[in-house]
Amino acid sequence: MNSRKAQALDRRPTVKTLAQATGYSIATISKALRDSPVVTAETKERIREAAARAGYQANMRGVSLRAGKTFQAAVLMPVTVAEDFEWDGVEYTQILSGISQALEGSGYRIAVHVIRDADDGRLVAQRIVETGLADGLIFSGIRAKDPRIDFLIERHFPFVALGRCRSSLPYAHVDVDNDWAAHTATRRLVEGGHRRIALINPDGRLSYAMDRIDGFRRALAESGLAPCDDLIAAGGLTTRFGKESAARLSHLPEPPTGFICVNEATTLGVLAGLAEMSRVVGRDVDVIAYDDINVSAYFSPPLTTFYLPIERLGRKLGEFFLRRVAGEEPARLQEIYRPDLVVRQVNKLERPRAGGHNSNREETS
């Protein structure tokens, strides 16, 4: 070994270096880097941050063998097999970015496993558990009764879900308050004078689709209005689905004058469908969007939007993953977010009444 290489090795940070920098004992540093459950999550995080700043790199193969861990975080990513599917994977890029940020410095690496749906995910989860491919799982697309959740709880295998099923099961999760968002959006349109409101929703088997319907129905009932169940459109989260739904619903004898969209793609489709039918947003119809990748700033016309960066959810998923594989109880790892309401249309607009008469009302979407 030449002298220059030897000097570089001598300068390489060690566990002793980290102990001197943080004030923790060498034993505590070693346990934290091995992800031992006897070290608190807060202490582990401080030590990992110090290790990252110092450029410390553990021999992960040796650590893995000693700790009996893979240091793999398995992420189940649903990818459709349908042809010409639009928007596929955009949101998951942001989710993976957030998870990666949370795992940085922990020694864990993401292992992506592509799945078609929750049933396929159940088989993939079983293979991961039985073959020891990862120390824990992260997944989304939660159904009302999700086979992955039931299986992983039964096997006592660590996991974090993006979403909640409709059963009271103890597991770590991060979710959006979709009931609240749909209720707030519906009430806002009702207060603006709308009586026929459409809900552009995801696949009805998904738990958050049911949450959105609950909030939608409750807001109408509280306002003393007739249900608008005939205006609930359920399907894929695509631009095409949004466009086709807008066209179909607009041909009903009593078409909707307000639309609540589940995501950016369906919103763009609804706008395109309404434009083709010469229904002007802000005059003939109002649209409220939901945005998690900061697309709504480019909608034309500008729309009132519920905004919650999905990358933030990804970071929380990664944080909860680390705490869960370290042994923390799942009941302590549950977070529900409410998106910000970004109001972009508040001016008064004229709306034509049946029979050609016009009335003024305050724009609320």
Task: Decide which of 234 and 349 is more confident.
Answer: 234
- Residue 207, judged by CB atoms within 10 A of its CB (0-12, 13-18, 19+), counts as buried
**304 DSSP β-pair partners:** 288
Residue 362, φ and ψ in degrees, nearest 5? -80, 130
Specify whether the CB–CB gap between 111 and 72 falls below 8 A.
yes
∠ CA 174-176-178 to the nearest 5 degrees?
145
Q: What would the pLDDT profile of 117-126 be if each residue is shown by its tens digit?
A: 889 999 999 9
| Residue whose C-alpha is closest to residue 193's, from 257, 134, 252 | 257
Residue 228 CB contacts under 8 Å (≥ 6 apart), including other chains: 196, 197, 198, 199, 216, 220, 256
Print burial letters for 311-348: b (CB count within 10 Å at least 16), e (below 16): bebbbbbbbbbbbbbbebebeebeeeeebeeeeebeee
Task: Decide which of 163 and 15 is more confident.
Answer: 163
Predicted pLDDT of residue 5:
39
Whole-number Å distance between alpha carbons of 183 and 180? 5
* Helix (H) or strand (E) run with residue 120 in it: helix 118-131
Residue 280 CB contacts under 8 Å (≥ 6 apart), including other chains: 274
Predicted pLDDT of residue 180:
98
Tell me: pLDDT of 235 over 80.
yes
Among 51-60, 191-200, 274-283, the least confident range: 51-60
Tell me: pLDDT of 87 over 60.
no
Among 58-62, 194-198, 206-210, the least confident range: 58-62
State percent of the chain over pLDDT 90: 64
Q: Whole-model pTM?
A: 0.77
Whole-number Å distance between alpha carbons of 68 and 78? 29
Q: What would the pLDDT profile of 127-145 be if each residue is shown by its tens digit?
A: 999 999 999 999 999 999 9
How large is the average pLDDT for residues 248-266?
95
Q: What would the pLDDT profile of 147-205 be if each residue is shown by its tens digit?
A: 999 999 999 999 999 999 999 899 999 999 999 999 999 999 999 999 999 999 999 99
Predicted pLDDT of residue 11:
58
Predicted pLDDT of residue 356:
39
Task: Decide which of 159 and 360 is more confident.
Answer: 159
How sure is the predictor about 80, in pLDDT bands with cuts at 50, 70 and 90? low
How sure is the predictor about 295, in pLDDT bands with cuts at 50, 70 and 90? confident
Predicted pLDDT of residue 362:
38
Q: Which two tokens stand for residue 197?
A: 């409101």
Whole-number Å distance between alpha carbons of 53 and 24? 16
Residue 266, φ and ψ in degrees, nearest 5? -65, -35
Among 35-44, 62-71, 238-247, the least confident range: 62-71
Among 17-31, 211-225, 255-269, the least confident range: 17-31
Tell me: pLDDT of 206 over 70.
yes
